[in-house]
Every structure is written in structure tokens, then in C-alpha cells.
Amino acid sequence: TNYDLNAGRIDETVHPFSTGYYDDVRVTTNYHLDDFSSSFFSVLHEIGHALYDQNMPQKHKYQPVGSYVSDGFHESQSRFIENFIGRSSEFWQYFLPKFKEITGGIFEDVELDPFVRAINRVIPSKIRVEADPVTYSMHVIIRHEIEKDLFAGKISFDDLPQIWNSKMKEYLGVDIDNNAEGLLQDVHWSGGGFSSFPSYAIGNIIDGQLLWKMDQEIPDWRKDMQKGDLNKVIDWLKTKVHQMGNLYDPLELVKKITGEELSTKYYLNYLRKEYSKIYELK
């Protein structure tokens, strides 16, 4: 993915995150011995963040204009690598044989199509960072609704566990057994990061529009990915997003890159097309 390990490293922690910028950008993940996908996709997600931070314009280093444009754009870069690349059939067409080699034969009998279908399985989950792309935004909506009501004084702090559990049941149909898998699963609120969750949904929307434009400008990037070559797609993101730094406002940058105002239609079209193909829907 062109993540420069001479200017970064990967370590283990409780909750995946990346930190730093320019010449020192570090990535963390956590591991589940019974599920490779959690750590794998969290690493791809954080690598997406790290690529943005490592490739901001050096000529504006340590200046405001040399920073990233918005949290929404930052999440677009992480989720593009995680989902649009990491969950694609083209990516695994090249990397599945290598994955089989390093996992000691556990996946030796697994074929490409069932594998891709498995990592794209749509099923409601308790944990946001493990959610599939289709249901993921529901996790964001739940958090956003709770934040708004909390700051509006409509709900109290003591009621948060019950409200959280109720919304998870109503929106996703899952039962929460404890606060660790409930409202304490993220580091954002405990670190004062209120109002940050919508940036994940905004990132998804931006991604859909970036993908639409990328398909027009470098239509063969998926064929390259089948051969393990990610250079075109990463270079496109570097040129269009990373190297722009904080020169433009977020909505200005979207229009500069794609020629259109930000719209949800491109992300929705992506979900319909991708998951209709995976689930063989007409």
C-alpha cells in the first residue's frame, strides 16, 4: 500500500488507531485469535489514515495549509483502503494465494468467490469497527442521535447505557450484554471526541464520489489490482486528496476533484452494484 515503514511502525493496542504526520506516522491494531478479519481490516483502515498523513504536502510542513482538510476526508481515505480496495474481489484475486501461504494452510481449500462473499457478509453487529459497509452507517446514526440528545439536555448521563442498548436493538436488532461491547467500545467519547462520529458516514459518501471519478480517470485500476499493483489508485489519491493539504474547504475539494457537489447517490450506487454482485441479486 506504499505505507513507509521507515517513517512509521505497526503496534498492538486495545483499540486500533493511527497517529502522527509527515515523517512519523504510527499505526496500531488489536488481534482476535479466532477472527483474522477484525485486525486485517482495522490495519487497512489505519493504513488509509497513515497514507494521508505521510503524504501531505512537504512544502507546507507544520503550517495550517499543510494539514488535512477535514475529519470526513480523513475517514474517506481510511475507508477507501479498507473497503473499496480491501474487500474487493480484484484485491483478493492476487493476495488470497499469498494469504494462504502465511496462514499455514488453514484456508488452503477456500476459493476466491466464497472468501470474498464471507468478508462482505451483511449482518448486524455489536461493534462499530467490525460492521460491514452496508450496516456501518447505522452505528454512526445511533451515536449521533445520542450525542445530540445529550447536549440538548434531553437525556442524562446515567441513562446512556439503557438508551444505547435500546437503540442498538431497535436499529440493528442486536442485544448488548455489557458496556464494554456497548457505549464504552469506542475511545472517542472518553477522549472528549464528541461530534466526530458523523465523519465516518461523511467519509463513506465522499468515497462513493471519489470512486465514480476514479473509474473515469483511471478505468484500468482494478485490472492492475488483480496483479497486486496498487500504484495507480494510491497515486491518484495522493494527487487528488493528500497533496492538496488544507488548501480548500471540504466541499470545495470534493467539487474540485469530481466536478460535482457532494452527493449520496454515488455511495448508494456503489452499495447497490457491489452487493448485488456479491449476493447475486437482480
Which residues have a catalytic role annotated? 46
Q: For residue 207, list its beta bridge partners.
A: none
Q: Whole-angstrom Cα distance, residue 61 to residue 49?
A: 17
Q: Within 10 A of 275 (CB to CB), how many other CB atoms are there?
A: 15
* Rg of the chain (C-alpha set): 19
- Any idea which residue has 468478508 for its cell? 119
Q: For residue 232, list its beta bridge partners.
A: none
Phi, psi torsion values for 20, nearest 5 degrees? 105, 180
Q: Within 10 A of 54 (CB to CB), how many other CB atoms are there?
A: 22
Q: Whole-angstrom Cα distance, residue 205 to residue 261?
A: 11
